[in-house]
Amino acid sequence: MIDQARQRAREMHTRLTQEMQNLKQKRAEGVNATRELRIVEELRALARRTEAELRPSDTTRAKLRRVQSRVLDEARFLRQWAESPLKTGAVAPSGQELSRLMAGYVELDRPGVIVELGPGTGAVTQALVERGVPQERLLLIEYSSEFCTLLRERFPQATVVQGNAYALGDVLDDLGNPPVASVVSGLPLFTRPLPERQALMSAAMAAMSPGAPFIQFSYALVPAVKGLVGITWSTSRWVIANLPPARVWAYRSDEGVAAVAA
pLDDT in tens, the chain (262 residues): 556 666 776 777 787 788 778 878 877 878 776 777 777 677 777 667 666 665 655 555 555 555 455 555 555 545 554 455 444 445 444 578 999 999 999 999 999 999 999 998 899 999 999 999 999 999 999 998 989 999 999 999 999 999 999 999 999 999 999 999 999 999 989 889 999 999 999 999 999 999 999 999 998 889 999 889 899 999 999 998 777 788 999 999 987 666 666 4
Q: How far apart are CA 60 and CA 227, in angstroms?
A: 50
Task: Write out the DSSP string of 120-134.
Answer: TTTHHHHHHHHHT--
The CATH classification of domain 67-260, taken from the options 3.40.50.150, 3.30.2000.10, 3.10.20.740, 3.90.1640.30: 3.40.50.150
State pTM to two decimals. Answer: 0.66
Q: What are phi and psi of 70, to 5 degrees?
A: -60, -45
Q: What is the pLDDT of residue 261?
A: 61
* pLDDT at 54 (0 to 100): 58
Burial of 227 (0-12, 13-18, 19+ CB in 10 A): middle
Following CA atoms 197, 200, 201, 205 in sequence, which dihedral angle do they give, to the nearest 10 degrees?
A: 170
Whether residue 260 contacts residue 228, with contact meaning beta carbons closer than 8 Å, is answered with yes
211: nearest Cα among 180, 250, 253, 251: 253
